[in-house]
Amino acid sequence: MRFSFLPIVILMMPILEIAGFIIVGKAIGLWLTLALVLFTSFLGLLILRLGGIGMVRNLQAAGRTGAQPADELVNGAMRVVAGILLFIPGFITDILGLLLLSKTVRRFFWKAFGPRVVVAGSFRRSGSQSGPQPGDFSGFRNDQGKSGNSKVVDLDEEEFHREGPTDSPWSRKPDDRDLPKP
């Protein structure tokens, strides 16, 4: 059985945030502490607003040029998380939010968690349909050039065929026998 510290950390966060308020309040005073909390909340809202708009613009530009938007998407998502953490009152969340605003910290997180992310298809508009189109395998994977380490199996139509009984209700096409009688 695997034990995770995440639930314990989540349960301890309010206690740690209250301790942070007490320590900072004793060091700089009540009014400066409240002003600092309000300032970081305002900064978080500003980052959310500007970061979200900037991320959408960068994604649109990447879509127009045909570039892969993975970096812009990840950086934008981390900036949004940083804005949310800054908006939440508390000094520990503010420190984490400010750290996520640093490009080097975002790069470190992406190197740590990026290899676990696999995107198997792209979602492009083609005519009136939106979403993945049949035969569209132009998505990106974060395998960083390592061939043979991917968990994605790419099959063509002629390589895929069904074996076994064909009288299953899931494999036959509906006909008049399947319709309810009036």
pLDDT digits (tens, 9 = 90+) for 23-76: 999 999 999 999 999 999 999 999 888 877 777 787 778 777 777 677 777 788
Provide the Cα torsion 61, 132, 116, 80; round to 10°.
40
Q: Which residue has the higher pLDDT, 84 or 55?
A: 84
Q: Read off the pLDDT band of 147 (50, 70, 90).
A: low
pLDDT mean across residues, the chain: 75
> What single-letter DSSP state applies at residue 125?
E
Average pLDDT value for residue range 131-160 = 56
Residue 73 and residue 59: Cα distance in Å, rounded?
A: 7
Position 177 scores a pLDDT of 58
Instruction: Reply yes or no on whether the pLDDT at 138 is more than 60.
Output: no
d(CA 67, CA 58): 11
Between CA 69 and CA 58 the distance in angstroms is 8
Q: How far apart are CA 56 and CA 76, in angstroms?
A: 9
> Above 50 in pLDDT, residue 98?
yes
Is the confidence at residue 136, as pLDDT, over 50?
A: no
Higher pLDDT, 52 or 119: 52
d(CA 119, CA 166): 33
Percentage of the chain lying above the pLDDT 90 cut: 29
Q: Which of 13-17, 110-114, 162-166 has the lowest mean pLDDT?
A: 162-166
